[in-house]
Amino acid sequence: QPSASIAALREGRCDVAVAFDYPDPTTDAESPLAGLHRRRLLTDPSVLAVADGDPLAERNRLHLRDLAEARWIAGCPRCRGHLTDSAEAVGFSPTIAAETDDYMAVLAFVAAGLGVALLPGLVSGVAARHPGVTLRSVAGVNRRSVFALTTLDLLRVPAVEATLDALEDAAAAL
């Protein structure tokens, strides 16, 4: 969870945290990242997970507004907020059938036909191999940012800078 990793960094329990965020209208001063050094690693698009056999699985072009009547399997609180904010931006409130921050459980619920789910693109490799699940791209959804964080003091430590560089190189390879 991003909030747990950010807390661990602020409390000195780690030197670098990898976290994610969705576009947010809060100001920088209100952000939980205020006062931290942020190194962008990548932009991660969401993918839609639908059950095999669902008519949506056959469509190549989907927009979030096409899913206004769908039942949803929601993820962690931040991911659920992203789903809700994105849906409201295109004119509907999602009907959430279940929620869990366990991606394997989300995929099992989708495969069982209990709903559809927005998933981070970074988990699509695992999700694509899950039996009974088809992944589709979906327009109308903001991409999340994945980044590494450290404190301004730790940024001067060579090992921390080397870790940030290695994370950036690994993300570029994706």
Nearest to 75 by CA among 140, 122, 42: 122
Q: How much is the pLDDT for 43?
A: 94
Mark 79-114 as b/e (b = at least 16 C-beta within 10 Å): bbebbeebbeeeeeebeeeebeeebeebbbbbbeeb
pLDDT in the model for residue 78: 82
Amino acid letter, 12: G
Query: pLDDT per position in the chain (174 positions), as tens?
Result: 568 889 999 999 999 999 888 776 444 555 677 889 999 999 999 999 999 999 999 998 899 999 999 999 998 888 898 999 999 999 999 999 999 989 999 999 999 999 999 999 998 888 889 999 999 999 999 888 999 999 999 999 999 999 999 999 999 998
Find where tokens 């990793």 sit.
Answer: 5
Torsion of CA 84, 89, 104, 170, to 10 degrees: -120
Instruction: Tell me the C-alpha distance between 104 and 78, whole Å.
Output: 18
